[in-house]
Homo-oligomer: A and B are copies of this chain.
Amino acid sequence: MPIITLLTDFGTADSYVAEMKGVLLSRAPAATLVDISHQIPPGDIQAGQFVLSRTWQRFPAGTVHLAVVDPGVGSERRALAAQSDGHRFMAPDNGLLSFLPRESRFVSLVVAADAAPTFHGRDVFAPAAASLAGGGLIESLGTTITDPHQSPLPSPHHDGTRVIGEVIYIDRFGTLISNIERSAVEPGIRIRIGDVDVGPLRRTFADAARGALVAVRARGGPSRLPCATAARRGCWESVWGQKYGRDRNDKGTVIIPSLFRP
Of A12-20, A95-103, A135-143, the one touching chain B? A12-20
Taking the full assembly, how many copies of this chain does it contain? 3
Chain B nearest CB: distance from A209 CB in Å? 13
Q: Which residues of B contact A43 (CB under 8 A)?
A: 233-234
Q: Choose one: B3, B29, B122; the contact of A25 (CB below 8 Å).
A: B3
Chain B nearest CB: distance from A214 CB in Å? 10
B233 touches A71 (CB 8 A): yes
Chain A positions 102-135 with a Cβ under 8 Å from a chain B Cβ: 116-119, 122-123
A55 touches B206 (CB 8 A): no
Residue of B nearest to A173 (CB): B42
Q: Which residues of B contact A60 (CB under 8 A)?
A: 22, 25-26, 29
Tell me the complex Cα distance, A163–B203, Å. Answer: 47
A37/B12 contact (C-beta < 8 A), A71-B205, A71-B233, A117-B203 known: yes
Q: How many residues of A contact B (CB 8 A)?
A: 66
The yes or no answer to A156 lying at the interface (CB within 8 A) is: no
Chain A positions 204-261 with a Cβ under 8 Å from a chain B Cβ: 204-207, 216, 218-219, 221, 228, 230, 233-234
With contacts A21-B34, A26-B58, A74-B206 known, what are 15 further pairs, Cβ within 8 A? A1-B29, A10-B172, A11-B171, A12-B38, A13-B40, A13-B172, A22-B57, A25-B32, A42-B173, A58-B122, A71-B205, A71-B234, A73-B204, A117-B204, A117-B219
